[in-house]
């Protein structure tokens, strides 16, 4: 068996249909979600320490904006996260409203994944929706286009 196959089996092994019992099984079930959460906390710490709202800081500028002068769907994402972590929701929505909403959807998916691993069965989220990939692609494509339109009211979305 390959290492990848073993790793994938370990990630889905807790979906046996029975709830987790005992401290060892609980730790085994929570290890992958805790690792992902630790990575998210590390990213948040780097963004807070780097302060992307200050020009010329240590965090990199979006390559598409630097090279081509266009705003990609993710542009402003770090500034959005920085503002959201400081409780400035208005500024977070200004920097990147779509990424703000997607952040909440990812937190929901993370919570469902964690609860599903503890219960022993998958919890349905927006990720399993039939039209989720297409809707995601359409929203990001439309967001990409309207953020780059050079006339009012869309030029206010350029960050």
* pLDDT tens digits, one per residue of 112-140: 999 999 988 888 888 888 899 999 999 99
Residue 2 lies in a domain: no
- Domain assignment present for residue 140? The answer is yes
Whether the predicted pLDDT of 10 surpasses 60 = no
Rounded (to 5) percent helix, strand, coil in the chain: 65, 0, 35
Please check whether residue 133 lies inside any domain of the structure: yes
Asked whether residue 125 is assigned to any structural domain, the reply reads yes
pLDDT at res. 155: 76
Closest CA to 20 of 96, 103, 112, 114: 114
0.85 surpassed by pTM: no
Instruction: Please tell me the distance from the alpha carbon of residue 131 to that of residue 95, in angstroms, as a whole number.
Output: 27
Q: Establish if 77 belongs to a structural domain.
A: yes
pLDDT category at 1 given cuts 50, 70, 90 is very low
* % of the chain exceeding 70 in pLDDT: 91
> Residue 79: is it exposed, middle or buried by C-beta count within 10 angstroms (0-12/13-18/19+)?
buried
């Amino acid at each position: 068996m390959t290492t990848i196959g073993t790793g994938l089996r370990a990630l889905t092994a807790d979906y046996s249909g029975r709830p987790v019992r005992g401290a060892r099984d609980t730790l085994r079930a929570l290890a992958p979600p805790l690792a992902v959460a630790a990575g998210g906390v590390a990213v948040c710490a780097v963004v807070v320490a780097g302060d992307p709202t200050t020009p010329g800081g240590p965090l990199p500028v979006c390559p598409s904006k630097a090279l081509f002068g266009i705003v990609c769907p993710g542009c402003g994402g770090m500034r959005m996260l920085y503002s959201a972590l400081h409780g400035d929701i208005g500024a977070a929505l200004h920097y990147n409203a779509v990424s703000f909403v997607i952040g909440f959807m990812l937190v929901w998916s993370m919570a469902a994944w964690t609860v599903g691993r503890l219960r022993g069965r998958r919890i349905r989220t927006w990720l399993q929706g039939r039209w989720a990939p297409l809707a995601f692609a359409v929203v990001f494509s439309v967001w990409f286009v309207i953020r780059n339109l050079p006339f009012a009211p869309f030029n206010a979305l350029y960050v």
